[in-house]
Amino acid sequence: MTETLFALGFGDRVVGVTTYCDYPPEARRLPKIGGFTNPSVEAIVATRPDLVIGVNDSSHPVKTKELEHLGIKIALISVTSLDEILNSFKSVARMLGRPEAGTNSRKK
C-alpha cells in the first residue's frame, strides 16, 4: 500500500508505514507502526492518521476493530488478484479525494 500511495502522488500524506516498507526511499524515514499482522495501536494513534489503509487478508482483525473503536477510519483493500490490485488504485485515489490519480488516462 505504501508504494501505491507514493506512486499515485499521495506520499506527502503518508504519516506511518509498516516495519517492512522500505520503498520508495522516503518511506524509510516515516514512523514505523509494526507489521501487518502485529501493528502497534499506540504507534498508529501517535501518527494521528485521517485514514488507515490496510490489506484485507493481512490486517489484524482485533487491532483493526480497536482502531475503529478509537474513531480512526479504516479501509481494508483486497489485493488477491491482478484485477483487485488495479481496482485498488482507483479505490485509494477516490478515498483520498483525487479519483483522477487512480486512472491511467491522466496527463503527465
Q: Which domains does the chain have, with CATH numbers?
A: 2-99 (3.40.50.1980)
In angstroms, the CA 62 to CA 105 distance is: 39
Q: Cis peptide leading into 31, omega within 30 of 0?
A: no
Answer yes or no: are the C-beta atoms of 9 and 103 closer than 8 Å.
no
In angstroms, the CA 101 to CA 44 distance is: 26
> Can you give the pLDDT at residue 104?
64
Long-range contacts of 5-10 (CB under 8 A, 24+ apart): 5/53, 5/92, 8/89, 8/92, 8/93, 8/96, 8/98, 8/101, 8/102, 9/98, 9/101, 10/92, 10/96, 10/98, 10/101
Per-block mean pLDDT, blocks of 10 residues, the chain (108 long): 94 95 95 90 96 86 91 92 91 92 62
